[in-house]
C-alpha cells in the first residue's frame, strides 16, 4: 500500500521498497527524514548533550558512533519506504538545526512510539508544539500504512514524571497520562492516542469519494 499526498504543508510519497519522500512545513520549521549529513548536529546539540539527555531515556549521553548507528537505522527505514522513522527539524528559512522527532516502531504491532528532542537554545518557544502538530497531521495521513503487520491505530509516548516540559507538551496532544511505569530506572507517565476513530472517518470519506 502506498501513500501519495502533495499539499503546501505536507508532502508524502511512500511505498514499500522505494525510498520515502516526506516533507512537512509548519510556521517556522521544516521536518524531513534525517540523513547522515545531520549526524554532527544530532550529536552536538541533542544526543551528546547532558542537558538534553538528563531526563531522556536512561539519562546518558550517546557517543558519536552510537548516534551514527541510530541514524543508520532511521535512514534504512526511509530508504525502504517505511514512513515510521526519524525526522530532522530545521528552521524553514535558515536551515538552522532545531531538533529531532520520531514517530517510530514500538514493541506492539500497530502502535507507533513518539519521542521529541529540541535543541536547548530553542526550548520554551513553542517549537516542540509546532513540530508535534505537524507530526500528528502526518500520522493521520499514514493511517493506512500497516505498522509491523497490524493496522496503525495507536501512538504512545512516555515522559519522566519530573520532565515538566515533556509532560505539558504530551498532555496538549494526548490528554492526561493513562498510566505510570518504571522504565530506564525512572517513573514515567505513559500517554496514548487512539487513532481508531480517525481511521474509521478516513475510511468512510474514502468510500464516499470512490462511490461519488
Ligand atoms: C520536552 C521538549 C521537547 C519540549 O520542547 P519545547 O519546544 O521547549 O516545548 P514548547 O515550547 O512547545 O512547550 C510545550 C509546553 O511545555 C512547557 N514548557 C516548556 N519548557 C518548559 C520549562 N522549562 N518549564 C516548564 N514548562 C515548560 C510550555 O510552557 C508548554 O506548555 P503549555 O503549552 O501548557 O504552555 C524539550 O524540553 C526537550 O527537548 N527536552 C529534552 C529532551 C526530552 O526530554 N524530550 C522528551 C522526551 S519525549
> Which pLDDT tens digit goes with each residue over 169-204?
999 999 999 999 999 999 999 999 999 988 777 767
Does 52 contact ligand 1 (Cβ within 6 A)?
A: yes
- Among 165, 184, 191, name the best residue to mutate to test ligand 1's pocket (greatest count of ligand atoms within 8 A of Cβ): 165
Residue of the CA atom closest to atom 32 of ligand 1: 168
pLDDT of 67: 98
Average pLDDT of the chain is 94
Residue 101: beta bridge partners? Answer: 87, 116
Residue of the CA atom closest to atom 20 of ligand 1: 124
Of 186, 48, 66, 189, whose CA–CA distance to 120 is shortest?
48
For the chain, the domain total comes to 1
For cell 528552521, what's the residue?
91
pLDDT of 43: 98
- Taking the centre of ligand 1 as the mean of its atom positions, its distance from the CA of residue 3, in whole angstroms, is 31
- Among 55, 104, 117, 169, name the best residue to mutate to test ligand 1's pocket (greatest count of ligand atoms within 8 A of Cβ): 169
pLDDT of 4: 85
Burial classification of residue 204, based on how many CB atoms lie within 10 Å of its CB (0-12 exposed, 13-18 middle, 19 or more buried): exposed
pLDDT band at 97 (very low <50, low <70, confident <90, very high): very high
Domain range holding 173?
A: 3-211
Residue of the CA atom closest to atom 16 of ligand 1: 165
Query: For 37-41, 120-124, 195-199, which range has the lowest pLDDT when averaged over its residues?
Result: 195-199
Most confident of 53-67, 139-153, 197-211: 53-67
List the CATH number of the domain containing 83: 3.40.630.30
Of 160, 142, 138, 163, whose CA–CA distance to 152 is shortest?
142
**And the C-alpha cell for 86?**
526519524
Of 91, 85, 93, whose CA–CA distance to 121 is shortest?
91
Enter the pTM of the model. Answer: 0.95
Amino acid at each position: 500500500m502506498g501513500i501519495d499526498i502533495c499539499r503546501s504543508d505536507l508532502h508524502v510519497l511512500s511505498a514499500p521498497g522505494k525510498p520515502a519522500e516526506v516533507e512537512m512545513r509548519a510556521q517556522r520549521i521544516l521536518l524531513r527524514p534525517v540523513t547522515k549529513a545531520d549526524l554532527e548536529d544530532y550529536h552536538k546539540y541533542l544526543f551528546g548533550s547532558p542537558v538534553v539527555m538528563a531526563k531522556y531515556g536512561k539519562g546518558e549521553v550517546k557517543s558519536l558512533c552510537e548516534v551514527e548507528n541510530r541514524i543508520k537505522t532511521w535512514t534504512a527505514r526511509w530508504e525502504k519506504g517505511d514512513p515510521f522513522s526519524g525526522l530532522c527539524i530545521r528552521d524553514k528559512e535558515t536551515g538552522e538545526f532545531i531538533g529531532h522527532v520520531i514517530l517510530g516502531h514500538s514493541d506492539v504491532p500497530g502502535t507507533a512510539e513518539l519521542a521529541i528532542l529540541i535543541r536547548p537554545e530553542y526550548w520554551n518557544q513553542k517549537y516542540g508544539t509546532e513540530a508535534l502538530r505537524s507530526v500528528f497531521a502526518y500520522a493521520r495521513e499514514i493511517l493506512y500504512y500497516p505498522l509491523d503487520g497490524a493496522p496503525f491505530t495507536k501512538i504512545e509516548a512516555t515522559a519522566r514524571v519530573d520532565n515538566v516540559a515533556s509532560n505539558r507538551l504530551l498532555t496538549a496532544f494526548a490528554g492526561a497520562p493513562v498510566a505510570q511505569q518504571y522504565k530506564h530506572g525512572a517513573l514515567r507517565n505513559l500517554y496514548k492516542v487512539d487513532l481508531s476513530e480517525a481511521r474509521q472517518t478516513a475510511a468512510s470519506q474514502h468510500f464516499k469519494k470512490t462511490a461519488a
